[in-house]
Structure 1
Amino acid sequence: MSVKSAVRVMEILELLSEHSEGLTVKEISDSLSFPQSSTFNLVQTLCTRNYLIQSGTKKYKLGPKLIHIGSNAMEGLDVQSEGEVHLRKLMEDVQETVFMAVLSEDELVYVSKLEYNRSIRTGAKIGSRKPLYCTGLGKAFLAFMPEENRDSLLDELKLNKITENTITSKAVLIEQLTIYSNQGYAVDDEENEEGLYCIAAPVFNANQEVAAAISIAGPKFRMLPNKDTIVQKLLSVSEEISQTLGYIKT
């Protein structure tokens, strides 16, 4: 059961988060359809606790107390632990191996691996590192990071051939990354391990940054016939994990 005043406080804070220039009491009450008198009382209470501040133009803005609270909340959000329950459900749904990785300098590091009993064996283990350019997870990072960061990484990377399908041309890789960015997910088509087909998607944090990437991997003969369903489930889970990290899609 929700408490009306508490709900109104949250709605005021959420509204002001979208108006960095601030809003007057009347603008807040009009926007939220609250009575102006109760809006004034709530705003004044928030000001006394430094959750809001008032500018010289009588507009109210988010206050310094929220910076401390927000920082602590960010520190408490561990992408691996927040994503674990979602990844397990995803693994059971698709009945293939599911991974999560984070970026470490110019490589990815696996932080989660949930292996379904029928899945293909892979060389990837928790804590192991892999190149970005030839893995689905790595290409998810490259496709969705800021372009200047991606270009800086690619300038330093040497694209060694690992399998017959490994892309060794940076121009071709960049074209591929553009496609992945537009479609929302990346693919590793036996580029790092023969027989392994991988579909990966980014996980974003509250700063709109790629905090991690998750993937579904399995034998190509099983993955391709079910690709549309796998992609749909993967993107749904990546969005759920992103939301737990405070990501708001713009």
Structure 2
Amino acid sequence: MSVKSAERVLRVFELLSQYQDGLTIKEISEKLSFPQSSTSGLIGTLYKEGYLSLDSFNQYKLGPKLIQIGSAALESLDFSKQALPYLKKLMEDVQETVFMALLSEKDLVYVAKIDNNRSIRTTAQPGSHKPLYCTGLGKAFLAFMNEQQKNQILDSTELLPITSHTITDRLELEQQLEIFKQLGHSIDDEENEEGLFCMAAPVYGADNSIQAAISVAGPKERMIKQRNAIVEKLLLTSKEVSASIGYKVGQGQP
């Protein structure tokens, strides 16, 4: 048996997820065909409890409490455990270090690292955070997430030089991201660590949005020599991991 008030809360969340600039109470009631009086009370309660936020134009948006809940739900899926067999197979195929990362606000957080016996030393370890703009995994998120989210992140990110190869010009970075979208994968050419070359690909979930990213990293000279073979294996693995968490082939990409 469904509960009407609970259903209305869910419809509000679903509606506002499609209008990231927010909606007024009147707009919400009209779009959902709810009485404006009861909508006002419902929205007021959700706002008071932190599930909605309110801007200066009296438009309501999804609130900070939902971020916490969403993050917990994401973690409960345990992407790294689900992806582990595929990541191990990728490492064995390419004989280089393989990583997996999730998005944490405007940074990436590493959740898996599969070392090869000839792995090079790197500061990237499970649990550590890195900027998006100068890492292969991070640039996969920027290239394949929606435009609004990408712009919000870049607007609040200072593009600092991590190495002499780091791209610090936003226009140049955005042009590069467009190329990556066409390629289907991103590249970090010694932009975060000297000598390290990385290629990364997006992992999509059931909602057709990027949920994670996986990468292959190693010494630049060695990576370049087998670049085409690595890209082929990387993209195949990203598709397999995506399918394992609910993405259906043929849905298309964002």
| TM-score of the pair, normalised by structure 2 | 0.68
Q: Aligned residue for 1:103?
A: 103
1:77 is displaced (CA, Å) by 3.9
Q: Distance in 1 between matches of 2:83 and 2:105?
A: 22
Task: Give the share of equivalent positions with the same residue, in percent.
Answer: 56
| Structure 1 residue runs without a partner (length 5+) | 1-73
Q: Aligned residue for 2:140?
A: 140
Q: What do the CA deviations read for 1:181-229 (whole angstroms, capped 9, x no partner)?
A: 1110000000000000000000000001111000000000100010000
1:160 is displaced (CA, Å) by 0.3
Q: Matches of residues 78-227 of structure 1 in structure 2 within 5 Å?
A: 78-227=78-227
1:78 is displaced (CA, Å) by 2.6
Q: Secondary structure at the match of 2:87?
A: helix
Q: What do the CA deviations read for 1:91-137 (whole angstroms, capped 9, x no partner)?
A: 11111000000000010000000110101111111100000000000
Counterpart amino acid of residue 109 in structure 1: V
Count of residues in correspondence between the two structures: 178
1:79 is displaced (CA, Å) by 1.3
Q: Distance in 2 between matches of 1:126 and 1:182?
A: 29
Counterpart amino acid of residue 81 in structure 2: S
Q: Distance in 2 between matches of 1:192 and 1:89?
A: 26
Q: Secondary structure at the match of 1:201?
A: strand
Counterpart amino acid of residue 247 in structure 1: Y
Counterpart amino acid of residue 128 in structure 2: S
Q: Distance in 2 between matches of 1:204 and 1:84?
A: 16
Q: Distance in 2 between matches of 1:185 and 1:131?
A: 18
Q: Distance in 1 between matches of 2:201 and 2:75?
A: 23
Q: Aligned residue for 1:228?
A: 228
Q: Distance in 1 between matches of 2:227 and 2:75?
A: 36
Closer, same or farther: CA 96–205 of 1 in aligned 2, 3 Å:
same
Q: Secondary structure at the match of 2:188?
A: strand
1:80 is displaced (CA, Å) by 1.1
Q: Aligned residue for 1:22?
A: none
For the pair shown, the structure with the greater C-alpha radius of gyration is 1
Q: Aligned residue for 1:68?
A: none
Counterpart amino acid of residue 161 in structure 1: P
1:76 is displaced (CA, Å) by 6.7
Q: Secondary structure at the match of 1:167?
A: coil
| TM-score of the pair, normalised by structure 1 | 0.69
1:75 is displaced (CA, Å) by 8.8
Root mean square deviation of aligned Cα: 1.5
Q: Secondary structure at the match of 2:112?
A: strand
Closer, same or farther: CA 152–89 of 1 in aligned 2, 3 Å:
same
Q: Distance in 1 between matches of 2:104 and 2:245?
A: 19
